[in-house]
């Protein structure tokens, strides 16, 4: 029909600017309106704002909280909620009627947090198999990975669409030492990650934390000994001084 349809995804609570690309096209008009159709089945589009050459922009009372007309025939929609999703268009009435632009707006909540969990399956001296699960509020995806102390490789399925239409993706980071769960939709994403080195029981990280514990024990022992020696010398010294008098 000769007009552009722009698809927009907007996060709940955010604002959006609907623009006429060429405001100069709006002249000698009888009426210029921004309309919304909530669904394809909506019989009649609702008027959000009407611009008339005489009266300027007029916003129906029930839209004054969201619809803010601009001088150049654009309109800002504020604090969008999911119920505001729909097909918006700008209709110009001169001697004929034409649509100048349409916006297909989908309002989405940000994604919920994701958790990563690693469960050992089997291991050999130089590699191990683990199951990595990524869990969100409404969905879990898991896949099996074979890891050495240096990298992991994946044996199957690692990306799915959740019931809420978001996507959940398990992958190895560029540095090859981290497995990442990424929960994303068109407006937001969030990740959780697990380091590879502790995944296999044979990994050097385990050894490291062991050393760390024994180091603390050694330090405590040394401290106790030092206190004991100091106290002993103190008593010896007092005994000596008493002996003098």
Ligand X SMILES: *[C@@H]1O[C@H](CO)[C@@H](O)[C@H](O)[C@H]1NC(C)=O
Taking phi first (over 0 means left), then psi (-120 to 50 degrees means alpha), and beta for anything else, what does residue 49 get? beta
Q: Closest distance between ligand X and the C-beta of residue 237, in Å?
A: 36
Contacts of 225 (CB under 8 A, 6+ apart): none
**In the complex, least distance from residue 6 CB atom to ligand X, rounded to whole angstroms:** 10
- Residue number, 161 or 233, with CB nearest to ligand X: 161
Of the pair 94, 173, the CB lying nearest ligand X is at: 173
CA angle 33, 34, 37 (to 5 degrees): 125
Closer to ligand X by CB, 74 or 133: give it: 74
Which residues are CB-contacts of 208 (< 8 A; sequence separation ≥ 6)? none
Q: Which is nearer to ligand X, 28 or 212 (CB)?
A: 212
- Tokens representing 216 are 């603390």
Instruction: Pick between residue 219 and residue 224 the one whose CB is nearest to ligand X.
Output: 219
Residue 116 C-beta: closest distance to ligand X, Å: 13
Question: Cβ of 195: how many Cβ atoms within 10 Å?
Answer: 13
Tokens 């009888």 correspond to: 30
Task: List residues near ligand X by CB under 6 A.
Answer: 7, 17, 19, 23, 40, 46, 60, 62, 70, 72, 74, 87, 104, 106, 122-124, 126-129, 146, 149-150, 182, 184, 189, 191, 204, 209, 212
**Nearest distance, CB of residue 73 and ligand X, angstroms:** 8
DSSP string of 71-98?
Answer: TTS-EEE-S--GGG-EEEEEEEESSSEE
- Look at residue 25 and give its three-state secondary structure: helix
Q: Is the dihedral of CA 17, 22, 26, 31 positive or negative?
A: negative
- Asked if 70 and 76 touch (Cβ cutoff 8 Å), the reply is yes
In whole angstroms, the minimum distance from the beta carbon of 225 to ligand X comes to 21
CB of 95 to ligand X, least distance (A): 24
Compare residues 40 and 243 and give the one whose CB is closer to ligand X: 40
């Amino acid at each position: 029909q000769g007009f552009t349809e722009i698809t927009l995804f907007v996060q709940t609570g955010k604002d959006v600017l609907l623009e006429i690309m060429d405001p100069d096209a709006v002249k000698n008009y009888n009426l210029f309106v921004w309309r919304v159709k909530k669904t394809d089945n909506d019989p009649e589009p609702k008027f959000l704002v009407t611009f008339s050459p005489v009266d300027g922009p007029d916003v129906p009372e029930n839209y004054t909280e969201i619809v803010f007309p601009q001088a150049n025939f654009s309109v800002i929609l504020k604090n969008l909620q999911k119920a505001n999703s729909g097909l918006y268009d700008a209709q110009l009435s001169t001697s004929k009627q034409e649509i100048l632009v349409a916006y297909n707006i989908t309002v989405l909540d940000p994604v919920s947090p994701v958790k990563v969990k690693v469960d050992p399956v089997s291991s050999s001296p130089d590699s191990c198999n683990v199951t990595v699960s990524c869990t969100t509020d409404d969905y879990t995806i898991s896949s099996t990975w074979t890891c050495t102390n240096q990298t992991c490789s994946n044996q199957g399925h690692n990306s799915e669409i959740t019931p809420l239409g978001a996507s959940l993706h398990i992958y190895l980071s560029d540095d090859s030492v981290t497995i990442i769960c990424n929960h994303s939709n068109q407006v937001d994403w969030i990740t959780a990650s697990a380091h590879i080195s502790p995944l296999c029981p044979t990994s050097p990280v385990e050894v490291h934390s062991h050393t760390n514990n024994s180091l603390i024990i050694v330090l405590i022992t040394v401290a106790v000994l030092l206190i004991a020696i100091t106290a002993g010398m103190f008593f010896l010294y007092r005994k000596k001084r008493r002996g003098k008098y």
